[in-house]
Each structure stands twice: as C-alpha cells, then as structure tokens.
C-alpha cells in the first residue's frame, strides 16, 4: 500500500500536473514522474492518495498507521513500514520575509509543476545550491521575468564541487544549461550575495541585497532591486518527525541538511520493521532517492520473509548519485546562517509573530533548550509545529550559550504529524459506547 498526501504520487520533484494543465509541454521532471506513475499503476501497488498519516504506533508485531482521508480517520496494520517523508524547506528570516509575495523555492516549484503559475511578474530568486537556478530558469521558461538571481554560493564554491558532480554528468550538464540560459538572457546573477530585507506592505515592492563574507556575515554596500515577488529558499532539511514519533533517533549532520533520522544505507533503523528511504535520512536529491527507494524495498522484503538479494550495481549507482546530491547539500550549507540576516525586530516564528529579540530575551532568561523556548514563548506551538522557526531558535541558543548546533536538539515532535479535525477522529459515536475507564479515586 502506498500512502501519499498528494492527489497523485510523485512528491515534490516529480509532482503531477493538475488536470487543467495536462496539455502543457513536458519537462524532464514531468516525464520522469509520469514514467514512475505509469509503472506504479501497472505494478498493482494499491494507492491511497489525498491521505495524511497523523500517527504511527507499534502494537505487538505490527505497525499501526493512522490515516486521515476525506475528513475521516482510518487505520492500517502492517508488518513493515517504509517512511519516505522527503524534505522540508528551511526559512530564511529577513526583515519583510512574511510579506505577501514571498514564497519558498520549493513552494515555487510546486506552483510551476502543478498549475504553471508564476509567483509574480518580476521575481527575485534567492537561495543556495542548484534549486535557485532551476526555479529561475523555470520562471523564464514559463514566460515570467527574473529580476535577479541571488545566491550565497560563489563560482569558486561551485568549481570546488566539480569533482563530485562529474559522478553524474547528466545532472551537471542540465544545471550548467540553467545557468547558461540565465546569463545569455542577461539576468543578473549575484554570486556570494543574499537577500537582506524585503520591502513592501501588502505586496512585495523590492529587495535589498548584500554581499556575504566567507563566514556568512553580511558585508556593507547594499543593492536595491525592484520586484513584485521573491522566491526565498533557506535550504532543504530532512523531514524527520514521522520517524521520530515511531522511535527513530536523530543526529546532527549539517552536510546532509541538518538533523537527520538515523538509518543504515539499506534503510533499516533501530525499530523493527521500520525503514527509511530518501531525503528524510539525509538530503541527497531526487536521483539518489529513487535508487535508495529500490534498495530499501529489498530490505523491507527481506524483513517480511521474501527472498530479495541486495544488488551491488544498484548500490554503486546510489553511491554515485549520493555523491552528487551530498555535494549539492554542502553547497546549501555554505555561508548559511538561519539568523545571520535577521534584525532584532525580524519575525522568526511566524505562527506566533515572535521576533528575534523576543526569543533572545527568553534565552537570556535561562531558556537554553528548544523545548524551553517553545514552552516559554510558544515558538513552535503554532500550526507549523516549529518547522519554520526551529533552526533559527537553535542557532540563537547556540550563539548565546557558545555551544555547537549539534547539542541543541529541535523541540520534541508531537502527534498528530499533520493537524487533524476533532470530528474526523471522533467520527460518529454513541455516548454509551465510549470506553470510559474507572473514575479517579475520591
């Protein structure tokens, strides 16, 4: 059984087109995605789409997966579970980043792939690694204007990654073409720069850029650029919450995107019958993820007693793709500082509108763990569950305490993994059927 939150399988990278845009030209992503979806349909794998998993529990010899679909809760029992929860995009809090017209880089790709919508008429595209160039070239391909590409990476950063990138010349070639297209079109590319602030009240009117020092601190000399939209990426981080709720520990691996679920190469974890595949156990990119899925499926098959030999050629291909993907993740970590560009009055937790200063005051008062800041100020208690603010909060604690980021664990994840309406859980019930335990002692 394949369970997916989207209406069609494909995830972020191989996201299916919405019905209204089926006639749009194919892209490498849509072709790969359609190919996978066709194979999936032919395979006889049962699919539950538009389904959210809100809790995973171990019961005896089974895993119980609690789902939510069409407003109704359900549960599945399974001997083996593969979690392929992918990545989430980190926020980069700068003054004005919550202004309407600012979206994430990953969010922008979802707009293109699903509905060919553009973020605006003239966009500044900012972030690290290859994603920023992909988003910028897609905007141009779809007829939009890229006012500027802004990336903390320098050309030297990219050159230094070449040896790892030649492991996948096809991907290297494709990335090179995005950059070449942008340069030919005269789109300004600001290497070694970052968006320092976004202006506009109800709608973005422009951004201010600055150059970054080698350690990521902003250098003087601001550059203003007019734009009505900004795609602002803060790098990708593994989605670990579901695995954590199922009892898998996390470890800090900045070269793999931050806090990463602990799993072996073959996907096995410390929990019996629970396997992890893809970016959730380290950001290595879509190509590596597909190969990893095949490796982990073999492990899961062996777990349920079906013969499935490991495939050395597959593992070699995975290692090659990983080398490429890991080099890209390292690029994203260069000169990256989640709060390096946040002023004291910049909002860090957008669910609760908490500024950097508010969080710093809480830390100074002795709240020196992510959980303590969450308890004291509600940073991470809103609908996003801390996904937007946890890296910034951890960084502020690390700075104040002079401790390494690896010592500042993110806040404890809690179920539901996604918000669930009470009515969906309660369903229709007869009051007399509620399993009421014995009342408390008098």
* Residues that bind another protein in the complex, under the rule CB under 8 A: 55, 57, 64, 66, 73, 75, 245, 362, 365-369, 371-372, 374-376, 378, 381-383, 385, 412, 414-416, 419-423, 425-427, 429, 431-432, 434-437, 439-442
Q: Which residues contact 217 (CB under 8 A, 6 or more apart)?
A: 337, 340
Tokens of 242: 């579901």
Question: How far apart are CB 416 and another protein at their closest, in Å?
Answer: 6
Please identify, using beta-carbon distances, which residue of 37 and 357 lies nearer to another protein.
357
Question: How far apart are CB 361 and another protein at their closest, in Å?
Answer: 11
Please identify, using beta-carbon distances, which residue of 44 and 441 lies nearer to another protein.
441
Q: What angle do CA 335, 338, 339 make, to 5 degrees?
A: 110
Question: How far apart are CB 411 and another protein at their closest, in Å?
Answer: 10
Please identify, using beta-carbon distances, which residue of 32 and 67 lies nearer to another protein.
67
Cα(244)–Cα(297) distance, integer angstroms: 20
Report yes or no: 175 and 130 within 8 Å, Cβ to Cβ.
Answer: yes
Alpha carbons within 13 A on the beta-carbon side of 189: 21
Cα–Cα distances (Å) from 271 to 62, 101, 244, 275, 289, in that order, read 11, 43, 11, 8, 21
Question: How far apart are CB 364 and another protein at their closest, in Å?
Answer: 11
Please identify, using beta-carbon distances, which residue of 245 and 389 lies nearer to another protein.
245
Question: How far apart are CB 423 and another protein at their closest, in Å?
Answer: 3
Question: How far apart are CB 47 and another protein at their closest, in Å?
Answer: 23
Considering just the CA atoms, what is the radius of gyration of the chain in Å?
23
Q: Count CB atoms within 10 A of the CB of residue 185.
A: 12
What kind and span of H or E run contains 348? strand 347-349
Tokens of 138: 């897609």
The length of the chain is 442
> In the block, which residue shows the tokens 């008062």?
365
Question: How far apart are CB 370 and another protein at their closest, in Å?
Answer: 10
Please identify, using beta-carbon distances, which residue of 225 and 372 lies nearer to another protein.
372
Q: Which long-range contacts (CB under 8 A, 24 or more apart) does 208-215 make?
A: 209/148, 209/150, 210/341, 212/152, 212/335, 213/335, 214/335, 215/335
Please identify, using beta-carbon distances, which residue of 227 and 250 lies nearer to another protein.
250
Question: How far apart are CB 427 and another protein at their closest, in Å?
Answer: 8
- Hey, which residues does 3 pair with through a beta bridge? 48
Tokens of 280: 């959730």
Please identify, using beta-carbon distances, which residue of 249 and 301 lies nearer to another protein.
249
Please identify, using beta-carbon distances, which residue of 312 and 441 lies nearer to another protein.
441
Cα(60)–Cα(300) distance, integer angstroms: 18
Please identify, using beta-carbon distances, which residue of 306 and 402 lies nearer to another protein.
402
Question: How far apart are CB 158 and another protein at their closest, in Å?
Answer: 41
Q: Count CB atoms within 10 A of the CB of residue 211.
A: 17
Cα(299)–Cα(382) distance, integer angstroms: 37
């Amino acid at each position: 059984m394949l369970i997916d939150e989207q209406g069609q399988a494909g995830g972020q990278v191989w996201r299916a087109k919405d019905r209204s845009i089926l006639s749009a030209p194919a892209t490498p992503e849509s072709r790969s995605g359609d190919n996978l979806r066709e194979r999936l349909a032919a395979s006889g794998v049962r699919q539950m789409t538009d389904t959210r998993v809100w809790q995973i529990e171990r019961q005896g010899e089974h895993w119980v997966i609690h789902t939510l679909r069409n407003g109704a809760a359900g549960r599945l029992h399974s001997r083996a579970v593969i979690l392929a929860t992918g990545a989430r995009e980190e926020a980069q809090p700068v003054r004005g980043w919550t202004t309407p017209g600012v979206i994430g880089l990953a969010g922008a790709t979802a707009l293109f792939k699903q509905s060919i919508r553009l973020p605006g008429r003239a966009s500044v595209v900012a972030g690290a690694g290859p994603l920023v160039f992909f988003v910028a070239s897609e905007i141009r391909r779809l007829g939009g204007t890229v006012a500027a590409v802004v990336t903390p990476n320098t050309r030297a950063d990219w050159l230094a990654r070449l040896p790892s990138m030649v492991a996948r010349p096809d991907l290297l070639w494709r990335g090179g073409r995005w950059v070449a297209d942008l340069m030919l079109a005269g789109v300004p590319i600001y290497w070694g720069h970052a968006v320092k602030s976004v202006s506009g009240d109800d709608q973005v009117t422009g951004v201010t850029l600055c150059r970054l020092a080698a350690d990521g601190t902003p250098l003087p000399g601001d550059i203003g650029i007019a734009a009505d939209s900004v795609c602002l990426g803060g790098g990708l981080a593994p989605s670990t919450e579901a695995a954590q709720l199922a009892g898998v520990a996390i470890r800090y691996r900045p070269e793999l995107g931050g806090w990463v679920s602990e799993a072996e190469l073959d996907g096995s974890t410390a929990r019996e019958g629970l396997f992890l595949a893809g970016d959730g156990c380290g950001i290595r990119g879509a190509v590596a993820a597909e190969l990893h899925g095949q490796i982990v499926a073999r492990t899961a098959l062996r777990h349920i007693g079906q013969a499935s030999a490991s495939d050395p050629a597959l593992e070699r291909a995975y290692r090659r793709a990983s080398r490429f993907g890991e080099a890209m993740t390292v690029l994203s970590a260069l000169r990256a500082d989640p709060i390096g560009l946040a002023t004291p009055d910049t909002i860090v937790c957008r669910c609760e509108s908490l500024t950097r200063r508010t969080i710093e005051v809480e830390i100074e008062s002795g709240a020196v763990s992510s959980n303590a800041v969450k308890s004291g100020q509600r940073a991470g208690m809103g609908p996003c569950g801390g996904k937007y603010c946890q890296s910034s909060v951890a960084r502020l604690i690390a700075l104040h305490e002079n401790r390494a980021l690896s010592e500042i664990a993110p806040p404890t994840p809690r179920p539901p993994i996604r918000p669930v309406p009470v009515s969906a859980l309660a369903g229709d019930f007869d009051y007399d059927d509620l399993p009421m335990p014995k009342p408390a002692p008098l």
